Structure 1
Amino acid sequence: AVHSQQWAVNNERRTMNNKQNIKYNTPAPARSQSKSGFRVNIRRHTYRNCFLVIGIFGLFIFSSCNMLLHSKKSNLTSREDYDFTYTFLEAERLKMLGNFDEATFLFEKCKKLNNESAIVNYELATLYIQKKDYSKAIDFAKTAIKLNPQNSWYKALLAVLYKQTNEPKKAILVYKELLKTNPNRVDFLYELANLYNYIKKYDDALKYYEAIENNFGVNETVSLEKERIYLVKGNKNKAYNEIQKLIESNPGEVRYYGMLAESYVSDGDFEKASEVYQQMLKIDPNNGLVHLSLSDFYRLNKEYEKSFNELKIAFASTDVEIALKIKMLITFLNFSNESSELKEQSTQLLIILIETYPDNNEPRTLYADFLLKENKTEEAREQLRIVVKNQKSKYIIWEQLLYIESTLNDYEAIYNESSEALEYFPNQPELYYFNGLSAYQLKKYDKVEETLKQGVEIVTDNLPLKANMYSILADVYNKLGKIKESDEAMEQVLKIDKSNKIILNNYSYYLSLRGDSLDKAERMSMLCVELEPNNYTYLDTYAWVLYKENKLQKALEIIEKAYNYGG
């Protein structure tokens, strides 16, 4: 491994001779993005993290061992040379295994054995990059270059480090040095263009972008970067020419026409934009992105009917991502209350999405929300029933459906749907409440007891819900003749809410019927009346308790009040 030949030649695989395989990483033009997204897929460039073809990982690929032959000759004894080689190979092995600290220790030992080894300094630089200690990495890279100034890889690493530490001017100097000995390396040309662009020396950036084009032909990302620069410089005609070049290089690519049309729209030239849109429709009449962009164009031109017609075509096309459609639809829904026309348009778009994506639940969920706001409760219920049939694992949809069923007082549906939902969400206390309440209304008292006994055990911080469960349980226990359990359930409610009027009234009434703890019954009934003095039901109960205590005169006074309040 140590004596493999021609490592530099082998690594020339990195040189890109086939212009169709060139890949760049560059920013898209700094225009405002239209909804059509013709520029959305252009890959973005982040200066500090862009390592490109000669990035950090690329620099790790080639074998360090192969470069040992290119280290400076040293005066090592045969034993020292053996120790150096063995230690180096062991360090290399540890680095490959990801043991960077141990590898660093051994490479530093190699440096002590032979302080004129360029490759050792290079390896230490790469390891300190892993540790994010860029200052040390730069020092070791510089030393490697000093010991072997002809090695392009060492210089490339230093350039990358300067980019990482946001020192673009230093990186430019290194790349220029690299370009002297590698004049046809597109990656170096591109790095220089990108760096000059970053420091806003646009003329220099253009020079290198043009050099790339001269060597490798028209390239989308380079052309778009040139367009952006020309726009910054205020030269719109040259900016348009860059897009025209892309169209000429690939006349069947509708995206380029879209970019040009959007550029014209951005500059207010609607006539030229319209001409380009007509060309786009001829090339690809069924392209949803074309119709979406055209919808935006008509909207800006205040041709609203045409705009909406194009939007409907775009919504029916799978060329446009559903996420974008949903985002646009939500905007429609937010303003739908402002006019009947917007409501109608919102409805049409919702139905188009449901028909286009029958297996996607999001459009149906949005439609259900829309129908609820329009008080079309039964229609909303039908949409949510389809959603839970297709997707049973989303709890919030089950809960929303059950609330709708409760507003419709459809207890049979509540019971069946909450029973099914509990199979998927046994730890959701609200489902126990819905199930218990509906079973109560359907007079399935044994089921109420079974369900709500489980429910009160899993409720934690929702005390009002727990109180409601105990309240239903108390009534059911009373109906089942379980008097002790009924009293205990009502006591639990009063622990949570000592002013619960329904329980105060019912508890006092049940006690009076049995003739038990009449003084306690009187206190609870009196408190209930104090809380709501004009409620004839509570007054009637209070009069009854007083009657059971043989306090007839006071009972008569209270029952007369109840009568006067409508009882």
Structure 2
Amino acid sequence: MRCHKIVILTCFACLLMAGCGAKKQSALEKPVKKEKLESDEIKRDKALLHFIEGASLDAKGLYADAILEYQKALQAEPNAAIYYAISRDYAIRGDFESAIEEAKKAILMEPKSIKYRENLANIYLSASRVSSAIQVYEEIVEMDSSNENAWIMLANLYQITDPYKALEIYNKILETDDTQLDILFQCAQIYFSLGKLQEAEAKIKRMLELDPDNRMLQKNLIAIYIKGAKFDDAESLLRTIVERDSSDYDAIATLADVYLDQKKFQNAMHLYEYLLSKGVSNPEFKLRIGIGILGLAEKDSTLIEKAKVIFEDLKEQMENDWRPYWYLGAIAFNQHKYSDASLYFRKVINMESQNPDGWWYYAYTIFQQDKYDSVLQIIKTPQSLFEKDFRFYFLEGLALTRIEKQQEAVHPLEKAYELNPKDINVIGTLALTLDGLHKYDRSDSLYEEALRIDTNSAIILNNYSYSLAERGVQLEYALRMSEKTITAEPDNAAYLDTYGWILFKMGKFYESAQYIEKAIETGNATSVVYEHMGDVYFKIGYKEKAMQFWKKSLDMDPKNTLLKLKIDIEKSNE
């Protein structure tokens, strides 16, 4: 029976095929279309499943696994949204190059999508490629000029690279709506940073029209007034704030600072004392008060100790803050207590090793204690930290000259000059050092260069004229330069001696004696001045007096072997 059924089904199939023979072509076409549709639908479903799985992995923070799922989704069906998702995950993982590549593919598939372009711009920003982000936002506003958010973002980016362009965009937005506080504030900040205080003031005032009781805006306006030295305006607004709120210690401290700028010292001191009487515990306020009182100490030196007490308290309160030590160091430095100052500045650099001024004052206070070898050891560290800071090479050169290593001093002094060719102290010290090494062409050139920068620099005029006198050249020119120094500082022993010595070299011995005697009368004469006085007396025939001054000079400088030889020769001729 079963065999019969198989035979019947086979015969039926043959008949079915035969019956359909005339429609064979169309019967074959329909299954192909249906299969393609079914295949596309399967791919879409497959892509969707992988995409959903990728999104699920994203939610768990498994970004690498999510990328693999998204890539499987792409294999099933390429789609802009998938490229977008992959780019975001690469960006999160810090692989910005891959993120940029995938973001660009999303844009290539949907070039009109603002969202995908914003994504690319954000990735550029994460990769610190601001100029590329700007370019993308330029494309966005070109596609949609009414997109205010894009314009604002573009202006924000231009604040970094082209603040004037940022202002142009912000002001264009404000032309249609000047009530946008954020944009007004951004404009004010940019104008302030560019030093355009009038424009910054106008923007803040417009904001205050919209929000007249905003204390932060009032204080921003005060900052602009102070920056522009409009102290009366600053005082007026501060007084208004303080009258309304006597507990605003920041405003009171700022008003005291303004009084200080106006030289209303009693008013300033009254407010500082008021703040202290209120037991202000905030260390930042106490620091401001200390700085303010220290500023007043220029007029009243008795206030120095008061400021010092505040900073001593603050170094306990702010134990990890270098600033109290800085001001204590400054006080000790100005009192010529260099040992104490060096300890304070050492604390500064221990807490803030990237503070070049801290390093400078630390090294310089060691220099002032005549510890030149220590200076040469210390100075290497700030030289490596601040390679472009000329001061540390200058101080090295000075220290080397003090230990009679003039030849070695030339290199660091040349380096300091290279870094800051306009600094009179550097030029003068390098010129003096080369002068001592008899490299007169270069030293004279440097002296002339220094005088082009400051024609009235007394120390340059003195050193240059003395050098010419020692060599016995250009004595008239030397005398004119030296005359300027004694006119400016008539009681300066060194300058009086130089003028007298030039006259000596010109053979005007009696006139020379008058000026060298004046140098000695100041009470600040060096051993060289006494030797010169002896030379003058010797020339005019007063040999006993000459010997007295030479011996006095030798007592002051026992290492002067040439003078000792001069005395011995004169003794042998008696």
TM-score for the superposition, normalised by structure 1: 0.44
More helix by share: 2
Of the two structures, which has the highest relative contact order with CA contacts closer than 8 Å and spacing of 6 or more? Answer: 1
